[in-house]
Each structure stands twice: as C-alpha cells, then as structure tokens.
Amino acid sequence: MEKFKAAVQKHLPELIEKQERLGCPIKWLVYDSVIPWVLPLAKELGLLGAVFYTQSSSVNAVYYQVSKGLIPLPVEGQTLSVPGLPLLEPHE
C-alpha cells in the first residue's frame, strides 16, 4: 500500500495539471473509504473530496449500530439483530 500511496502522491498532481491544461479541470476526487489519506491530498490540491464506500450498506448499518452502542462489543449471544437485516451470527 505504501508504494501505491507514493505513486498517487507523485502522479495525481500531474494528472490534475494536465486536465486543467486540456480545459477539463478536475473539481472533485472520489476515493475509496479504505484509503482515507486521499482526502488531505485532495484538499492540498484544491479539490473537494467524496468518500465512496465499497462495502455493502449492510456493513454500514452494523457499523452505525455499533457506534451508537446498540450492538455491544464483544458480541454476546447466538444471533445479532440489526433493523432491516435478517438475524446475523456473530461471525458474519
């Protein structure tokens, strides 16, 4: 991942400048949630950033429930109830 990060940090400014010269300026940088270091880079380059979550909405629903304390950690019991989803086993 470090090589990828270094390559992006080196070449992204070049790409943005090239697109500007071609009359197609880049305004936004959409990035995957697993590489949050892209947002500060986008800001440095004068771009707006938008995170794109590649996991399913079900995963986001579980994260939300955990963040609100509605799902205790560690998970206890045989099943886990999340609104809008079928019962889940702790390993899911």
Domain membership of residue 77 (yes or no) is no
| Torsion angle defined by CA atoms of residues 46, 12, 37 and 67, in that order, rounded to the nearest 10 degrees | 80
Q: Quick check: is 81 in a domain? A: no
pLDDT band at 61 (very low <50, low <70, confident <90, very high): confident
Average pLDDT over residues 40-57: 91
Q: Is residue 38 in some structural domain?
A: yes
What pTM value is reported for the model? 0.60
User: How much is the pLDDT for 7?
Assistant: 93
Please tell me the total count of domains within the chain.
1
Q: Tell me the DSSP string of the chain.
A: -HHHHHHHHHHHHHHHHHHHHTT----EEEEETT-TTHHHHHHHTT-EEEEE--S-HHHHHHHHHHHTTSS-SS--SS-B--TTS--B-TT-
Does residue 59 form part of some domain?
Answer: no
In a domain, 91, yes or no: no
Residue 88 domain-assigned? Answer: no
Domain residue limits at 34: 1-52
